[in-house]
Chains A and B, each alone.
Chain A
Amino acid sequence: MSDTAEAEVLDIPEMDPDAWADFVEAQGWTDGLPLVPPTEDAVARMMDGARGDNEPFAAITPRLLTPTLRSLAANAVMAGCRPAYFPAVLAALRAVLVADYNLHGTLATTHSCAPMIMINGPLRHALNINCGTNCFGQGWRANAAIGRALQLILNNVGGARPGIMDRSTFGSPAKYTFCFGENEEESPFDPYHVRQGFRADESVVTVISSEPNHNLNDHGSTTGRDLLTTFAGGIAAPTANTISAKGPFFIILGPEHAATIARDKWTVPQIQQFLFDTARVPITEVSPENQERYETGGNPPENGFYKVAPTPDDIHVAVAGGPGKHSAWIPSFGGTAAISIRVKPPAAG
């Protein structure tokens, strides 16, 4: 891959699928898996999926080049997107380009963060986005391709190539794709995007720079309070990037856990407050050197315990997944924010 802007269209020799796979690998364009060739026709069809979207994009760090709709569509084609997915990809890109998301920091860090993408609203059904059983896993084209397209854009236009600009010690499977929908239909609470001020009939993409999901297993508790107590214990981790209140995180309630918690009359703000108050890391689990760091960073312990989020509002609660006594903790990079952006439907015609 060249580090400078070059021709928007490339004339390359005809090649069979094996040669094409070798070619994209040599160019550094791939995440390691085969890519769909972004022919001019395929890219034109992809762009039609976002017709009418003329809002310009900011330059993408670290190369600091401003993408064109065409180069973005080329990455969506390569990722295996249908044209109907493209508006969601563009919304996710716009979200990670919001300053508070801290794209540069999240790409250059040694932490294993990746952009988590959660989709709300009617688009989930229109695109067949998995919100239920195995929603963080394999098997659904929309989940796989939307997240993958964003990663390819960051790699190819942004230049966040692993090992060079992406300095992650381990990386994570979420760097291939990490996209799911909220299971609004099985949630006893208002959908996440409605709680962020959007209308229920709007489709919204929410991103945060995060680790993959960490499981919160509780088969035994029968009350909302007991479930939340279990969760608080699971997320009070001295090794998380969010230790000493450095950033936000998500709690994804499985529908069965959500039902129990709601049955016991817990509201989302009450859940946030309970977890904020209860999920604390005792100072005895933190080394003296780190205690000094957190003190210097302006986040000293309170009564012998460290907070794991700056405020209750930094604990984001949503519902997803299928049957089973599991929920999920999605710890963030720390220096990032959850950003929600409305997906623009394509113009008529």
Chain B
Amino acid sequence: MRKRGLVGVVIATETFRPLVLAQAKARKLEPHLVVVKHPVGGLNAAELEDRINTAFAGLRLEMKS
């Protein structure tokens, strides 16, 4: 998507961070990456709130960079 003019921000759990970085490197891209604590699946609404807050804070930083 990036090479077609779209700015992509990836929200990934820390477990998948190496995977995102390796893929980006293979494609010669600097990823906009926001890392949240693992996991996301299996959480209830209260637990998910923490991930949402982290993701939003990370996104705000990316918006300023």
Contact = CB atoms under 8 A, between A and B. Distances in A.
A245 B21 CA distance: 32
Contacts of A62: 19, 22-23, 26
Contact of A64 (B15, B16, B27): B27
Interface string B5-38: 0000000000110110011011100000000000
A165 interface: yes
B26 A167 contact: no
Interface size classification for chain A: 10 to 19
B12 to A, nearest CB: 11
B18 A165 contact: yes
Dominant secondary structure of chain B at its interface with chain A:
helix
Contacts of B16: 167
A164 B18 contact: yes
Contacts of A167: 15-16, 19
Nearest to A65: B26
B15 to A, nearest CB: 7
A3 B23 CA distance: 11
Contacts of B26: 3, 62-64, 159
A163 B16 CA distance: 10
Interface residues of B, number: 9
Contacts of B27: 64
A108 B12 CA distance: 13
A163 B17 CA distance: 11
Contacts of A163: 18
Interface in A271-318: none
Nearest to B27: A64
B22 A3 contact: yes
Nearest to A59: B26
A163 B15 CA distance: 9
Interface string A162-185: 011101000000000000000000
A64 B18 CA distance: 16
Contacts of B25: 3
B10 to A, nearest CB: 13
A331 to B, nearest CB: 20
Contacts of B23: 62, 165
Contacts of A159: 22, 26
Nearest to A161: B22
Interface of A: 3, 62-64, 108, 159, 163-165, 167
Which 10 pairs across A and B sit closest by C-beta, in order of nearness? A64-B26, A164-B18, A63-B26, A165-B22, A62-B23, A165-B19, A62-B26, A108-B19, A62-B22, A3-B25
Interface of B: 15-16, 18-19, 22-23, 25-27
7 contacts: A62-B19, A63-B22, A63-B26, A64-B26, A108-B19, A164-B19, A167-B16
